[in-house]
Each structure stands twice: as structure tokens, then as C-alpha cells.
Structure 1
Amino acid sequence: MMLPCIQARSLTKKEQLVLSLEKQYPGDVGVLAAFFLNFVKLNPGEALYVSANEPHAYLSGECIECMATSDNVVRAGLTPKYRDVQTLCSMLTYNQAFPEILQGMPVQPYVTRYTPSTDEFEVDRYLLPPGKSVTMSPVPGPSIFIVMTGEGEIQAGFMTDSAKAKEGDVFFVPAHTKVKLYTSSPRSMQLYRAGVNSSFLS
């Protein structure tokens, strides 16, 4: 009796991803989408922009997502929620390209700006070492700040006293308002600001 020799091979990253997703979402056909989408791993400080009508899925890790004004969210899979297949197929662009990884541009000490190719928004990342402060000049549009880590204080406009800012806090700042941020803990303070794209306002 002769037995044929079968050569085993290692699984590709996408094959490993599909098996991992199938464990999380058993029986969900959406796991197969991993074979057709780009598999992107972002390093700390990197970002990417996803255009309208482009399918995407966030898989793991911590990230900040800023979304433009939208009238709907159409789900394709990896969810127990309703999937509108007809609308999904009619709206997709079917463009094939690898997304551009945005490294951000320093706009002042401790501040990096991510400016996507849309007029609707931009995102600033603030990384303040212990004992440091930064002042944001007034911008023509409103801003929303979210504190991710650390503690400090925020002073905006004509506030006579600064407000405490800690992890999880969110602040709305009107247009044309100067903002000053301070750290007040032995660890760095990380915040993000979302606002109207400055290229659109200029």
C-alpha cells in the first residue's frame, strides 16, 4: 500500500483572520469579506480615511473614529443587526485600492493634525507630558474634545476658572474660542479634537 505525501503549509494572515472571525461570529457570511478587503494594521499615531460607501470593519485595539454627517449606516456582516443586502450592493463603489495611511502633521508642540480628503472634518491629537500646557488658537468652526488618558484642566474663551478634565470627559468648544490645556497628573494626558476641516474654512 502506498500513501501519498501531503505537504502542509502555514496559513496566510487573511486565512488566520477569517478563522478568528468565524469563532467570534459563527455562521456569519460576513467573515468571508476578509478575503476581499484590505487588512490594515495601524501603529500608534497613524490614521486612515475611509470614503463614503466603502465597506470597512474595525477588528481590535483602541482607536478614535470621527464620522462625517450621514443619513444611514448599512451593515454588511459581523453583526446580529439587520443587513440590507439590496441597499448595500447598490451603494458600494467597488473601487480597488489600498487606503492611504495618514501620519499626521505637527501643528505645534504636542499637537498632531490629521487632515483627510474631505471638507467635513479634521482631527487633532494632543499628547501633553506631565506638567506641560498647550494653547489652541481660535478656529472658525466648533470643536469637540475627548480626553482619552490622564488628567488636567481646560480653559476656554472667557472662562474665569479652568475646568477639570479627566479620562472619558468630553467638551464642546464654540467657534472662535481660544483653548488652553494643562496636565495635572504624573502621567501624560492624551486628548483628541474633532472639528471642521481648516482647509474648508480658510
Structure 2
Amino acid sequence: MAASDNVVRAGLTPKFKDVEVLTEMLTYQSKAGSDQLLSGVLCTPTGHSLMYDPPIDEFSIILTTLDHAKEKERLRAAEGPSVVIVTKGHGVLRAEKNSGSEDEGVVEVVANEGNVFFVGANTPFSIEASSDDGVTIYTAFSVKPDKKDHFHH
């Protein structure tokens, strides 16, 4: 749920429930489930990463799939923070520290299936597969609407 001061509850809470207002707010449009699926758009020159950009401003997601050990992908820095989830395999995540800071360099962590990482704003990072089966990660991030092409090369 996006951050908001406007919450309308309809159930599952002892707090005030305003079901009538909720049903008035809803938009009822019937569509097939297949019409609701997003298509990924290539967002790196390697072809390893697809961006899924839902029709909301709050976030976008990049799916990065590396199929075998030693394969690498680098993602540009997002203007805001990112969350990286490893859903398959394992590898090494490398994030570049901000230039100009006392401790410039690279932070390197092992990324195993099930791990979740926070990547700070304006921090480019890469993933390198270290298992024969490769590694799959999802990166969720927030960008301003006028920056939707930020990741495209």
C-alpha cells in the first residue's frame, strides 16, 4: 500500500469500517486476467534484465536472470532506495560506495536464495552468478514519473 493519510477500512479490524465509502470509490471494470499481465521491457544491453513498470507511480521492478556461473549484470543507480530479493541460486552482489566519501570502494556480499538486501539511493550495483544454475534477483525501486527511462541504456 502506498503511503497515504487516506485509509478506508472495510473489515478485519476493530477500527471504524466505512464499507459504503469504499464501494463508492472502487472502479468496476471486467477484464480477463491475461489482459492484466505486465510485459517486461529490456533495460540493459546484456539482455539479462527486464523492467516491469506497473501503471502506478510508486514503484517499478527489474527482473535480472543470469543462467550460469560467472555471468554478470550491472544496474544503474536509482534516485531512491531499492530492495533486492534473491529468488533463485546464489551469487555475489557488489555495490559501489558513494564517490567523495572517506571510504570509497565496493561493498561485496554473498547473495543466496531467500536473501533480501537494501541498496541506498544513487548506488549502482552488480550481481555475478556463482552457481552453475545461475541466479535470479528482483529489484524493486521508486522513481519519479519523469525518470521512467532512467535504467534504459
Superposition CA RMSD, Å: 2.6
Residue 97 of structure 1 deviates from its aligned partner by: 3.7
Higher helix share: 1
Is the 2:79–2:143 Cα contact (8 Å) retained in structure 1? no
Change (3 A) 1:151 1:117: same
Specify the code of the residue in structure 1 equivalent to 2:27.
Answer: T
Residue 141 of structure 1 deviates from its aligned partner by: 1.7
Question: TM (normalized to structure 2)?
Answer: 0.72
Question: TM (normalized to structure 1)?
Answer: 0.56
Change (3 A) 1:198 1:188: farther
Gaps of 5+ in 2: 98-104, 149-153
**Greater RCO (CA < 8 Å, at least 6 residues apart):** 2
Is the 1:146–1:168 Cα contact (8 Å) retained in structure 2? yes
* Equivalent of residue 103 in structure 1, options 33, 39, 64: 39
User: What is the aligned partner in structure 1 of residue 151 from structure 2?
Assistant: none
Is the 1:115–1:197 Cα contact (8 Å) retained in structure 2? no
- 2-side partners of 1:74 and 1:193: how far apart? 30
Moved more, 81-90 or 112-121: 81-90
Specify the code of the residue in structure 1 equivalent to 2:139.
Answer: R
Matches within 5 A, 1:12-161: 68-69=2-3, 72=7, 81=12, 85-86=19-20, 88-98=22-32, 99-108=35-44, 109-131=47-69, 132-158=71-97, 159-161=105-107
Percentage of identical aligned residues: 30
Is the 1:138–1:176 Cα contact (8 Å) retained in structure 2? yes
Higher strand share: 2
- 2-side partners of 1:118 and 1:125: how far apart? 18
- Post-superposition Cα deviations, 1:143-169, rounded to whole Å, max 9, x if no partner, equal 110000100110112254510100111
- 1-side partners of 2:7 and 2:87: how far apart? 27
